[in-house]
A and B are shown apart, each in its own frame.
Chain A
Amino acid sequence: MLRLRAVFEKSGRAKYISHLDLNRCMLRVFRRSKLPVWYTEGFNPHPYYSFALALSLGFESSCEIMDFNINDDEMTLEEIRDRLNAVMPEGMRIISVAEQVKKITAIAKAEYSFSLVSEDVTGVYDAVKGILDESEILIEKKTKKGVKTVDIRPDLELVSCEITENSVDMAIRLPAGTQTNFNPTLFMEALKNYCNIPFEARKIRRTGILCENNEKFS
């Protein structure tokens, strides 16, 4: 049995596929591909596959991760990738298939890029600089137990921040994985409260899933 990990892209119209729907969608991808995927045992056998991280509705991604097993040791990884790509919906594409190296628990952060579109780009740009100079960035996070105030400043890493004609294009890293997950929209909300300048976040894209030492998770 091959224990595999696929990295896939989700963009264009596919960004409107919710996480729940993605599950069903992949089940049908596997069935259409006729790959000998490994089924769970028990009363209601179904193909086993699991996604490393959920992606918010409306986000694009070039680095989604899905684990699955193939009941065939002879197949090449390229063949598996190509057979899946042949039956993927528009906007979804398997970038690579490789054997699983690390445990899912090794995931520590995720990197996101996005554009903040505004009439007042310099204002937004200054606000970004300003908020990152603060010692704490408090946000309200909804949890199962109610609303909690969290400081995201210690875990937030700025990767890049550029100003264009009508937007501020940035990339940031936030904690992700089985323990803590911060959605980049939390940062945007904090920024909105901080500066009071209207802006709209566009083209939100997950660009990397990383381990603690910023190494790419694989």
Chain B
Amino acid sequence: MNLKEKIEKHLLEVQKPSRYIGGEVGSVIKDKSKVDVRFAFCFPDTYDIGMSHIGMKILYSLTNERENYWCERCFAPGTDFEEIMRKNDIPLYALESLDPIKEFDFIGFTMQYELSYTTVLNMLDLAGIPIFAKDRTDELTQIVVAGGPCVCNPEPLADFFDIFILGEGEEVNLELMDLYLDMKRQGASRLDFLRRAARIEGIYVPQFYEFSYKSDGTIEKMTVRENAPATVKKRIIKDFDKVYYPENFVVPFTEIVHDRVSVEVLRGCIRGCRFCQAGFIYRPFREKKPDTIYNETKCLCENTGYDEVSLASLSTSDHSEIDGMLTKLIDYTAGERINLSLPSLRVDNFSESLLEKIKKVRKSGLTFAAEGGTQRLRDVINKNVSEEEIMNTCRIAFQGGYSSVKLYFMMGLPTETDDDIIGIAELAQRILDLFYSIEDRPKGRSPQISVSCATFVPKPFTPFQFEPQDTREEIERKQKLLLDSVKSKKIRVSYHDPDVSQLEAVLAKGDRRLCSVIYSAWKKGCKFDSWSEHFKFGTWLEAFEECGVDPAFYANRRLAFDEILPWDHLDYLVSKEFFIRENKTAHKSVTTPNCRLRCSGCGVNKAVGRECFCYD
């Protein structure tokens, strides 16, 4: 029985079987006898989530443009199918060819969130690929690589991967595959290849770097072997407007989380919120021209048949030509009966005619990321949104017929006091009062203010990387305080599990000593940690205990400015001095203006050799 028959024999026993058999419109099938390099693009979560990921769509199409390279997709099976796979010796396979991924040249994971680490191990195991890099063959095949935002501190994963790809993958992925093909033809070994790969900018080969630790647990020093570079610099695309964008997406049969055309409008962020990793690791800010955005939207809608489009970016309203761009897009989508889903936009600088148009197409509710409950705290985190702006936007929304608002906050932020927590409840109350004070508010509908509180997670490459996370007890006390401060039933409060946030902080800021913890947690059955029904914190604690690793050392300790951090040898173009400076500024409750107003000298301009904006 071949693998396809084996799969099909059991496919009707599982939930949503179309996720496991491929054949979707837009998927790329090649003749494998004519292919030189095979790349399995793995997403460490289920199909429904992974298929929504835009980076995968870009790199999938980009790689497949090359006739002799074949990129296929691979996702984590649901637990029902995993059980069947293990029982019937079905190895993890790629969806296009249905071939086992262990036969591939590259097995590439995209690391989007820390809580997917155990799932990576589980997928390698299901694939029949040795989990530890050191146990893999000496031959040049089965190179396990990872990219994505989490690899800005890949140390907790260092033992499992041969290569980490730092920064944007559009160019470097192909360079890596070219080198591979070249060396494969020469009959090189795995180690030969890794040595040469380490010289490509953006390529980090963890086994060439070694760490020693002081008795207090901090890093003593890092040593480099094999002539690998002492710091590895992330890659960026210089001309973002001309960067490759797919003309087609794989269109799934089953519904996925983001089931629509998604067009990237800009990369990077000008805001510099001090808790936000994305705001720093994707710098510099670059945008696409409205015409490019329009053409890509139209092309994708026509080729996929989707009737919904969304714009992907960290902050779409920061596009310098937002008005012209949206006007053009709304005219096109309305004419074609396509739904344009707009993110929360800052409405202050829109023309009246555009506002009218937006009103007509907007369906989603009103959301606001205020993050901090008081102006003081918002200044500390550099979230430059004032209460006046929040109130104005809510007023316009209520007058326009909205009756519900969703507010996002963070709890446990640096310098936070009980007043800031009470401030959250008070802000929600003032919005509620505002609703009742408006004459032409929506009649006959009860207002609903939802307050959603995440726990602050300190992340590498942010000014708050040095900050300790609140302990679980402290977070729970603050959650209770918030609940007690809310006076109206029309204000609904929800928050995240603090255990999840602590694990996130540990994995985000961890070093190589966490590899054994992750391995042990997986061995004990942890996987899909981001799904509340699978999250087993008790098991994680056992794993920490067993490996002699204290999670509080990573999550709840303040790092010294002069300490060697696990990610210090990785260069994301923003300097550590800048983060230290920003951290000190934060503690003075002083804000830093956005990059369009003034350059704050984070170092990116020096690294790319030009200014980010022209200032008159």
Q: B12 — which chain A residues lie within 8 A by C-beta?
A: 57-58
| Main DSSP-derived SS at the B contact region | loop
Q: A21-B253, A21-B254, A89-B24 are known contacts. Are A16 and B11 too (CB-CB below 8 A)?
A: yes
Question: Is B251 on the interface with A (CB-CB < 8 A)?
Answer: yes
Known: A13-B21, A18-B16, A29-B305. 12 other contacts (CB 8 A): A14-B23, A16-B11, A16-B17, A17-B18, A27-B305, A28-B251, A28-B306, A31-B307, A58-B12, A87-B25, A89-B25, A91-B23
Among residues of A, the one whose C-beta sits closest to the C-beta of B259 is: A24
Using C-beta atoms within 8 Å of the partner chain, give the interface range for chain B: 20 to 34
* B-side contacts of A38, CB under 8 Å: none
Contact A27 B307 (CB under 8 A): yes
Counting CB contacts under 8 A, is B489 at the interface? no
How does the 8 Å CB contact mask read for A72-99 relative to B, with 1 for contact and 0 for none? 0000000000000001011100000000
A216 within 8 A of B: no
B23 with A89: CB separation less than 8 A: yes
Residues of B within 8 A of A18 (CB): 16, 18, 253-254
In contact, A39 and B304 (Cβ under 8 angstroms): no
**Contact: B305 with A31, CB < 8 Å?**
yes
A-B contact pairs, 16 of them (CB 8 A): A16-B11, A16-B21, A16-B253, A18-B16, A18-B18, A21-B253, A28-B25, A28-B251, A28-B305, A32-B305, A34-B302, A39-B337, A58-B12, A87-B25, A89-B24, A89-B25
Q: Closest chain B residue to A39 by CB distance? A: B337
Q: Please give, as numbers and ranges, the residues of chain A lying within 8 Å of B307 by CB-CB distance.
A: 27-28, 31
A18 to B18, CA, bound (A): 8
Task: Please report the total number of A residues contacting B with Cβ < 8 Å.
Answer: 24
**B318 at the binding interface (Cβ < 8 Å):** no
Tell whether B255 is near chain A: CB-to-CB under 8 Å.
yes
- Tell me which residues from 2 to 59 in chain A have a Cβ below 8 Å from any Cβ of chain B: 12-14, 16-18, 21, 24-25, 27-32, 34, 39, 45, 57-58
Chain A residues near B18 (CB-CB < 8 A): 16-18, 21
- Residue numbers of B with Cβ under 8 A of A are 11-12, 16-18, 21-25, 251, 253-255, 301-307, 337
Q: How far is the CB of B363 from chain A (nearest CB, A)?
A: 11
- Looking across the interface, which residue of chain A has its beta carbon closest to that of B22? A13
A26: nearest residue on chain B (CB-CB)?
Answer: B305
Which residues of the partner chain B approach A58 to less than 8 Å between Cβ atoms?
Answer: 11-12, 17
Number of A-B contacts defined by CB within 8 Å: 59
Interface centre among A27, A31, A58, A91 (most CB of B within 10 A): A31
Interface residues of A in 121-159 (CB under 8 A from B): none
Name which residue of chain A comes closest to B338, CB basis. A31
- In the A-B complex, the 6 residue pairs with the smallest Cβ-Cβ separation, listed nearest first, are A28-B305, A13-B23, A31-B305, A32-B305, A16-B18, A90-B23
Residues of A within 8 A of B305 (CB): 27-32, 87
Residue of A nearest to B307 (CB): A31
A residues near B301, Cβ cutoff 8 Å: 31
CA of A199 to CA of B93 in the docked complex: distance in angstroms? Answer: 29
CB <8 Å contact, A57 and B25? no
In the complex where A16-B11, A27-B307, A57-B17 touch, is A32 in contact with B302 (Cβ < 8 A)? yes
Determine the distance from Cα of A27 to Cα of B308 in the docked complex, in whole angstroms. Answer: 12
In the complex, what distance in Å separates the CA atom of A14 from the CA atom of B22?
9
A129 to chain B, nearest CB (A): 28
Chain A residue contacts of B255, Cβ below 8 A: 21, 24
B337–A45 contact, CB under 8 A? yes
B25 neighbours in A (Cβ, 8 Å): 28, 32, 87, 89-90
A17 CB contact (under 8 Å) in B22, B253, B302, B306: B253
Most B CB contacts (10 A, CB to CB) among A12, A16, A32, A58 go to A16
B591 to chain A, nearest CB (A): 44
Closest B residue, CB atoms, query A56: B12
